[in-house]
Amino acid sequence: MIKIFTIASLSAFIFAATTNLLLVQAVTAKPVQTKKQANPAKPINSEVRIYPANNNLPASRLITIESVIKKSSKMRITEAKLTTYEEFASQTGQYKSSISTDRMVWIVTGFVQGELRMARGRIVCTDNAKIVQVIDAETGDSFGRTIYCTPNNEINFMHIPQTP
């Protein structure tokens, strides 16, 4: 019996066939198209949002008092006032350079009955905390809030007595 293929010739044949197949694929393959991102991803908090003046907008472009009250649903609201950020900042001294002084804001004042808990369940006030929130009148974004505890109801986390 005559052997047509030896192991060496079989290996050479497989190598040649594989190489030929790869060359055909390389020549006929379409180049891979990569899309460029229109807006490349930026790290979180790498850019501060700027709030320009909007005190010349018509009232129809601002959020309503009803929307503000919904955002503050856990409070017993005592006052909600539409004003400029300048008026708020001049009373509190809390200026933010990213907010124009001619930006319209809602200042919402109210009380929360019972314990007021913050992030991770920490209690700040044991009862009747007064809260002043500043809400952007155009977007509804919160610009912050201040919490005031009535005397003897504030918990100071820096000086908690330790039990022996």
Q: Within a 13 Å sphere around the CA of 41, how many CA atoms are in the beta-carbon half?
A: 2
pLDDT at 159: 47
The values of phi and psi at residue 148, to 5°, are: -120, 125
Provide the residue count of the chain: 164
> What is the predicted pLDDT for the residue at 155?
67
- pTM comes to 0.62
- The pairing of strands 142-148 and 129-136 is antiparallel
| pLDDT value for 95 | 86
Q: What are phi and psi of 78, to 5 degrees?
A: -105, -20
- pLDDT, tens digit only, all 164 positions of the chain: 555 656 666 566 676 666 665 655 655 656 555 555 555 555 555 577 899 999 999 999 999 999 888 877 778 999 999 999 999 888 888 888 899 999 999 999 999 888 877 766 666 788 888 889 999 999 999 998 888 887 777 666 554 444 44
